[in-house]
Each structure stands twice: as C-alpha cells, then as structure tokens.
Amino acid sequence: MIYNISMRLLLIEDEEKVANFISLGLKEEGYEVDTAYDGKKGLELIRENSYSAILLDLMIPEIDGLELLKTIRSWGVDTPVLIITAKNSKEDVVRGLDTGSDDYLTKPFSFEELLARIRALLRRSMKSDIKTLEYRGLTLNPYTRRLHSGSGETDLTEKEFLIMELMLKNKESVLSRKDIAEYVWHSTADTTNIVDVYVNFLRKKIEALTSKKYIHTVRGMGYILKEDEKA
C-alpha cells in the first residue's frame, strides 16, 4: 500500500540530527511530518492536531516519553504510537507497551525497518473493513477494540486486541508463541516472555467477564482458544 501526503505523522525526538534524518526520509516517502524536540512541544502538537501515527523517543526533555504516552492515553487519544529509543531491556519494552504504545523499535535501526513498522501500524489502525469476530459467547469489536461476553465488556490494549483477533481467526487451533509474536510484534526475537505476559493479561480480562475458560496453554506448543465445556 502506498500512503500519500494525507498521512500526517508526528516525530518526537530530541536529537536534532536523528530527527532531521528521519523526517527527511519520511517526507520523501510521501508522508507529512511534524517534529517536536521535547515532550512539552509534543503534547501541544497532539492537542492541536490529528495524526495518523506518532513516533516517540522515550528519553526526551521537559516531559519524558512514557509520561507523555500516559498523558495522551488519559486524554482518550488512541493514535498508534511507535516508540523509538536506545532503551532495549525487556523491562523497558514491557513498560513501554503496557503504558500504551503499539510497537517498539530500538536504536540503531534501518530506515527500511522503520518504514515497515509505520506501514504495519497504519494498516492495523484502518479497521473499517474488518467484521466483528465471535466465538461461543465472545464478541470482539474491532472498531472500539472492546471484548464482549454476555452482559459484560472490557477494553483491550492494542496488543491484547491483536492477540484476541488472531485467536478468534484461528479458534480451536493451537498457536505457537512464534505465531503470536509474528502477528503482533512482526518479530520472533526475544518475544517469548512478552507473549506470555500479554496472553496472561488477556486471559485475566476474559476471566473477569465470564466463569468459562477460553484461553488454554498447550504445554510445549503454545496457546489455544477453546471454550471449556466444564466451566
């Protein structure tokens, strides 16, 4: 898919040379790009404008990246956010994802990989042609990213939504951790623990809605979405 100038991105990066390099490259690809060199300016731009995606460095002055992310999510801003940072420990990755980011790219990275991540975020945010997914009392609404069961419902984070979407599309079939990592994070490198963490988050949300058990661990293989008839 080729994106045109109507795709407006916000880049929040305090290293001017890095910001200029990324901004120039994205503009050459047909994107419109606004740049902020600190968190305070980033928040001002987000408050004043609508963006297709936000590229966010964590280590920025005034207001750091995680605090900025918490703030815009509290405002109800659901714009896809790609964190780009030199921080690459699993703890940092999980913290960033759990705060509300949609993807995570560590420095140094190739510009081609950055473009691929942006395209993936934009594809996932365009869900107008995706139908509601259902399975034995569970209903996933792709427009609101809410999961329904009986009279209850719960909001899902972007990663939880994608895992649930994949499971519903492959109901009663075993999915390996690799399958889930490729679909949700577009990578299989060092994602096993993160897959387990997010599947557990999703499982707890489902269990809060219904006494039935749906997500089961298949030892040595992965996970399966299957209604527990005995529940």
All structural domains of the chain, each given as residue ranges with its CATH number in brackets, are 8-125 (3.40.50.2300), 133-225 (1.10.10.10)
Range with lowest mean pLDDT among 50-64, 116-130, 207-221: 116-130
Is the pLDDT assigned to residue 127 strictly greater than 70?
no
Q: Checking phi first, is residue 176 left (phi over 0); if not, alpha (psi -120 to 50) or beta?
A: beta
The one-character DSSP state at 34 is E
Residue 109 near residue 189, CB atoms below 8 Å: no
pTM: 0.54
What number is the average pLDDT over the span 159-177?
93
pLDDT at 188: 62
At 135-150, the pLDDT tens digits run 999 999 876 788 999 7
d(CA 168, CA 162) in angstroms, rounded, equals 10
